[in-house]
Amino acid sequence: MRCALAGVRAAQQNRETLGGSWKTWEAGLCRTLYTLGYPELSQPDAEFIEAFRREHDLPYRDVVAAHFTLLFGCGDVALSDYTSHVEQVAAGFPPVSFNCRYAMLGSGADADRDTAYVFLVPDEGYAALSLLHDALYRGLMEPFLRLDVPFIPHITIGTLRDRAEAKSLCDELNERGLSIQGRVANLTVGELTPDRIVDLSEHRLGEMSGASA
């Protein structure tokens, strides 16, 4: 399982170690791109997620809004090619309705393995988000699909160093009962910067004739 936010930490560390050569990044010669699905939520659900993140997602609450990650960080594809690919895939897929009824303990990959996450995982919408992820990783992006890390669609609402604490938070949410309903209607291409993910372009799902929910 992966979390897009782990790349922000790496970018912040790189800025400290690279010094003057960080200007290469600032000049736009090296761009790490993500594709995110920002959920459309009811006001109570949006407020619940933001309140939870303010308390339990301290490293990333101000870095990026709550989201599903559909394409993980890639710095080896030109922005124009990447954007065209996302636009084409988005046009052929309908918007995705979802309902998150389960809080899952998540873990990072590679250097991020010591971090624990609280994931909101959908049951309704799980297959549709997974199929969208699979489609995005065909063609241009196929070489960057990690087959060693299973994809689980999720919204990260907590980032902690204590795995037991993260599991306790998940248990509390599940015992209380979860039902976070929403809709992903657009794919957003974002760029990783030293401090946050900056949205670059938005691509509506289902623009192509024939795409239906």
The predicted structure's pLDDT at residue 180 = 98
Please state which of the ranges 7-21, 85-99, 120-134 shows the lowest mean pLDDT: 7-21
Residue matched to tokens 């619940």: 48
Q: How confident is the model at residue 107 (pLDDT cuts 50, 70, 90)?
A: confident
What are the tens digits of pLDDT across the range 114-159?
A: 899 999 999 999 999 999 999 999 999 999 999 998 999 999 999 9
Find the length of the chain: 213
Backbone angles phi, psi at 123, to 5 degrees: -95, -60
pTM of the complete model: 0.85
Residue 16 has pLDDT above 50, yes or no: no
The partner residues of 124 in beta bridges, in order of sequence, read 99
Domain ranges in the chain? 33-204
Measure the CA–CA gap between 79 and 39, rounded to whole angstroms: 24
Please report the beta strands in the chain, taking only residues with DSSP state E, as ranges in sequence order: 32-37, 40-41, 68-74, 96-107, 116-124, 155-160, 180-184, 186-192, 197-204
CA nearest to 86, candidates 43, 138, 23: 138
Give CA 61 to chain center in angstroms.
Answer: 13
Measure the CA–CA gap between 178 and 190, rounded to whole angstroms: 29
What are the tens digits of pLDDT across the range 21-70?
A: 334 444 444 689 999 999 999 999 999 999 999 999 999 999 999 999 99
What are the tens digits of pLDDT across the range 157-187?
A: 999 999 999 999 999 999 999 999 999 999 9
Task: Report the CATH fold assignment for 33-204.
Answer: Cyclic Phosphodiesterase; Chain: A, (3.90.1140)
The predicted structure's pLDDT at residue 30 = 61
The predicted structure's pLDDT at residue 28 = 47
What are the tens digits of pLDDT across the range 66-86?
A: 999 999 999 999 999 999 999
Share of the chain above pLDDT 90, in %: 77
**CA 114 → CA 97, 110, 161, 193, distances in Å?**
32, 9, 7, 23
Q: How confident is the model at residue 12 (pLDDT cuts 50, 70, 90)?
A: very low
The predicted structure's pLDDT at residue 114 = 80
The predicted structure's pLDDT at residue 108 = 72
